[in-house]
Amino acid sequence: MIVPAQRVNHIEEYYFSQKLREIKQRIESGENIINLGIGNPDLLPSEATLHTLEQEIRKDQSHGYQPYKGIDELRAAISKWYHTRYKVVLNPETEILPLIGSKEGIMHISMAFLNPGDQVLIPDPGYPTYSSVSKMVGAIPIPYTLKSEQNWQVNLEEISAMDLKAVKLMWVNYPHMPTGAKAENNLFEELVDFALSKNIVLCNDNPYSFIMNSDPQSILSVPRAKECTIELNSLSKSHNMAGWRLGMLSSNPVFIQHILKIKSNMDSGIFKPMQKAAVSALNNPDSWYESLNTEYSERQKIVLEMLDILNCKYQKEQAGMFVWAEIPKKFNHSETFSEHILHQNKIFLTPGFIFGEQGKRYIRVSLSNPKEKLKEAKSRILLNH
């Protein structure tokens, strides 16, 4: 009998991998289920992005291996985008690394900086991949609590009281997923000061800064942030390119080189026409983001009306492509509530427990569905409530 690696025993199959397979099977068997769970953009990338892909895909030399650091034009476009949108100056040669999606970047960073036994500070609630990848590389996830009454902000006073001797890396994520909270006041400055003082690598996962948010921020705008900080970003949500798998990370040249050592042994570059198309996407005008957010705002309104019918509580000012809401008191757990809605209304809502202990009384609703589909979901709930 062949025994798998021990790391397989310490992680579970990604929740959505299992749940979406189940929903797909149920739909194929005849159930008319509306999936409001996963954040999978249903809108098209910009016309300029699609046109560039169509043009580049037919050119000679487009289908061979590409540089591990990405093509020069893409890194230059990322640098310009960061300067235009975040007022952050990045050297395109030494401080930017394009990625096959920012999710892969979580693995690259973890492999580059974590040894077995190192500890990693992970937000609760937070993206499950931070914890699972830490376990894959033999590190120990240490959750830190984000609280609703503090608007899901990092409480550095509480964290500083913890034993941090073995902590090597800390994950933060603002605008926050799943709660939609934006970094308040001087949080980024305080996080950078904390990381510098504790000699911790600080990682900000930043894919939602342009969705339902009029003030995009980068932690790299903080003085001295590059000395200790890595920021992940992505075209998936902000440019409707999730399936393209195009992301990036930015940091100081030394950190970039550490991560490149890992990345260059794990992939063989990004398809060149997609890199060229990404350049076009990063040059989308202000009107592109405004139009996208108008659509999401209209969708959010319908979702909030649906949540009102369900007697769920929520904070109105949420960034990102989800709505995070507290379940009614008569339900004791988010999975119970989610399964109840799925059984009664044939609507799937993500149970918040998958994001950590602090999410067990919350659900997350995706805005990645046409308004007509969201209205249908609202009608079903109104009919059966």
Whether residue 331 has pLDDT greater than 80: yes
Mean pLDDT of 79-96: 98
Q: pLDDT tens for residues 341-355?
A: 999 999 999 999 999
6-44+286-384: CATH number: 3.90.1150.10
Whether residue 168 has pLDDT greater than 80: yes
| 260: its two tokens | 């490149």
Query: Where in the chain do CATH 3.40.640.10 domains reside?
Result: 65-282
- pLDDT for 31 equals 87
- pLDDT for 345 equals 94
Whether the bond into 141 is cis, omega within 30 of 0: no
Category of 185 on φ-ψ map: left (φ > 0), alpha (ψ -120 to 50) or beta = left
Mean pLDDT of 131-160: 96
Q: Say which residues have a Cβ less than 8 Å from residue 134's Cβ, sequence separation at least 6.
A: 110, 114, 120, 122, 140, 141
Q: What is the mean pLDDT of the chain?
A: 95
How open is the CA angle 309-313-319, to the nearest 5 degrees? Answer: 110
Radius of gyration of the chain from its Cα atoms, rounded to whole angstroms: 21
Mean pLDDT of 70-78: 98
- Strand segments, DSSP code E, in 274-328 are 313-314, 322-326
Question: pLDDT tier at 366 (50, 70, 90 boundaries)?
Answer: very high
- pLDDT for 358 equals 96
Question: pLDDT tier at 61 (50, 70, 90 boundaries)?
Answer: confident
Mean pLDDT of 307-331: 95
**The CATH classification of domain 65-282, taken from the options 3.40.50.12280, 3.40.50.1860, 3.30.230.10, 3.40.640.10:** 3.40.640.10
Distance between start and end Cα atoms, the chain:
52
- pLDDT for 139 equals 97
Query: Where in the chain do CATH 3.90.1150.10 domains reside?
Result: 6-44+286-384
- pLDDT for 37 equals 87
Selected residue with higher pLDDT from 385 and 246: 246
- pLDDT for 384 equals 79
Distances (CA, A) of 347 to 212, 328, 339: 24, 17, 9
**How far is Cα of residue 70 from the mean position of the Cα atoms in its chain?**
21
Name the strands in the sheet holding 313-314, side by side, starting at the edge strand that comes first in the sequence: 313-314, 322-326, 362-366, 350-351
**Residue spans of alpha helices (H) in 33-155:** 47-56, 72-86, 102-113, 128-136
